[in-house]
């Protein structure tokens, strides 16, 4: 767990997106469990693919 006080003033969606970007920058492969309407997670997977990361996406619904 990493604290990021700079996100304290952001909405939950904005803070999640910011944290997810940080995770993507640190990894080579992303494994994600999401629902089809999990917009933030689906966008994160798309951004990781755009950065040529290996993405495995499991849908829970």
| Residue 20: DSSP 8-state | H
The model's confidence at residue 32, banded by pLDDT at 50, 70 and 90, is very high
Residue range 11-28: mean pLDDT, rounded: 90
Instruction: Provide the percentage of residues in the chain whose pLDDT is more than 70.
Output: 100
The model's confidence at residue 60, banded by pLDDT at 50, 70 and 90, is very high
| Residue 6: DSSP 8-state | G
The residues near 53 (Cβ < 8 Å, ≥ 6 apart) are 24, 27, 28, 29, 30
- What is the distance between the alpha carbons of residues 1 and 53, in angstroms, rounded to a whole number? 22
Read off the tokens for 2: 């990493």
The residues near 44 (Cβ < 8 Å, ≥ 6 apart) are 17, 20, 21, 23, 24, 30, 32
């Amino acid at each position: 767990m990493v604290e990021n006080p700079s996100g304290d003033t952001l909405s939950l969606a904005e803070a999640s997106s910011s944290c997810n970007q940080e995770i993507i920058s640190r990894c080579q492969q992303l494994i994600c469990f999401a629902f089809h309407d999990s917009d933030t997670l689906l966008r994160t997977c798309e951004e990781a693919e755009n950065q040529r990361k290996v993405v495995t996406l499991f849908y829970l619904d």
